[in-house]
Amino acid sequence: MRVLGINAVFHDPSAALVVDGVVVAAAEEERFSRRKHGKPPVPFSTWELPEQAARWCLEHGGVRPEDLDAVGYSYDPRLGPEPNHDLATDGWEGLRTLYVRRAPLFLKAALPGLDPSRVRFVPHHVAHAASAYLAAPSSTASVLVLDGRGECASHLAGRAVEGELKILAIQALPHSLGLMYEEVTAHLGFRRSSDEYKVMALAAYGRPRFLDVLRAAVRSTGDGGFVVAPIEWASLAPRVDPGGAWGEAHADLAASVQARLEEMLVELARWLHEQTGDRDLVMAGGVALNCVANSHLAERGPFERVWVQPAAGDAGTALGAALYVAQRLGDPIAPMPTAALGREWPEAALRAWLETAAVPFERPRDIAEATAEVLAANGVVAWFQGRSEFGPRALGHRSLLAHPAHPDNLRRLNDIKGREQFRPVAPMIRLERAADVFEGPLPSPYMLFTHRVRPVWRPRIPAVVHVDGTARIQTVDADEEPLVARMLAGFERRTGLPAVVNTSLNTAGRPMVDDPRDALECFGSAPVDALALGPFLVRRRAA
Ligand SMILES: [Fe+2]
């Protein structure tokens, strides 16, 4: 069966293609349109589809729109707010429902040849859940989904047995841990449903002194759900204007919200574990991108193993909807083997891009060794290799790499990316070396957990150690990522250090680099010392 998945309703529009139960391609629209998060998450934009991502997925799979057996759309309008006579009520939410009902026709217009009767609506949280239990290595697991909102809920707890989901609890809106986190994100002057990870980073600078207030307002209800009472944020810390300065009270507020979220995750997981007795938990939904909370859960929660969908935000629902529909149509589903599900270019095409740009370049015998050499000399390298990543993390395919021993490299990278200086950068390390340097759950291939840096290593790799002594690591398995593993080994041979700084390849406010033109534009406009574009190396003259 050939099944296309579409996420279009809120933010991070994306598409995925599943053929005979195997994920063939998945991509976010922002990587094509160069518009961060694809579109604003308002009802008026619901009609906009991930057109370019969907076309590319089909092209990559050699599937024409008329060949599709089904399209899974990750929102069910039958569960959404009913449009009434005055569409403006309830913040135009009814308009969203109307647009989703028309989505099959919009899809037919975007993908000529597609049969609109093949579109199947998958409830938003079921799509999130499927992106975890059908994509994870174990097909029997407890399932926890937490996000801002779907049609009418913000949470799903359930159990998947041999790939069949049984829903055990759903928390209806307005109670939402994701929306609470979004609110505090906006209160602290950051961008709602985009910058939540900044609150998580800021939390490490504060003390959770408002935790009692949070505990009174945010409580689990003993039946798998929870309540979130309205919180007067300004009574705890004054509102910050966008881009404004934050102080101690703001860091303390971030720390308090983060701490309560961590406690809630453990409470919800305990309830779920009492129902299922499973050893494995799989998670998705935007809240599952909170790697600090994930680590807290992995460490203190009742489950032995926790697996998180790397595209845990709404982008991943395109994949979940496609997998869910494919399974309903009878296909056995294969776990996703990697998050590298996006575009790539053959060597000849990369060479042509470099020749068009008229930049001097070389083709070293091994780009991994040549990159390790530049990094060892404290150069910053833009690393563009293979298929781009699905999800918000750079995992060694579209990365900025640097030497971890120089504390100033954090500032250099944050300058290149136009980011706040309190934002940490992360290390990548070969799997077999990870336990020597970091404490925490291994492997960690998708950067969804934080690990404690062993004290003896902290002064040796200061650029990647967050203020609380942790690091959000990516472990690299040489069997899965031989090129990256070779680069890391080459760096260790030269420096004695097993880790390299890895952050996403993009500049301020832009989506991650996806195609060779983006890579060349990034290299041309930012103080990066070298660009490793496939097997080719471009050096900045001064370097
Ligand atoms: Fe969601």
Residue where the block lists tokens 């303390």: 252
Residues labelled catalytic: 11
Q: Given pLDDT bands bounded at 50, 70 and 90, which one contains residue 414?
A: confident
Residues around ion ligand 1, judged by CB within 5 A, are 147, 314
- Neighbour tally for 479: CB within 10 Å: 7
Contact between 361 and 45 under an 8 Å Cβ cutoff? The reply is no
Distance 284 CA to ligand 1 centre (A): 8
Distance 150 CA to ligand 1 centre (A): 6
In DSSP terms, which residues pair with 28 in a beta bridge?
Answer: 14
- Residues 349-361 have pLDDT tens digits of 999 999 999 999 9
Distance 147 CA to ligand 1 centre (A): 5
Contact between 427 and 444 under an 8 Å Cβ cutoff? The reply is no
Closest residue by Cα to residue 215 from 225, 226, 201: 226
Paired tokens of 49:
């589809």
- Residues 290-300 have pLDDT tens digits of 999 999 999 99
Distance 533 CA to ligand 1 centre (A): 34
Q: What is the pLDDT of residue 543?
A: 43
Q: What is the pLDDT of residue 542?
A: 56
pLDDT at 90 over 90: no
Distance 149 CA to ligand 1 centre (A): 6
In DSSP terms, which residues pair with 400 in a beta bridge?
Answer: 382, 503
- Residues 156-191 have pLDDT tens digits of 999 999 889 999 999 999 999 999 999 999 999 998
Amino acid type, 309: Q
Q: Given pLDDT bands bounded at 50, 70 and 90, which one contains residue 472?
A: very high
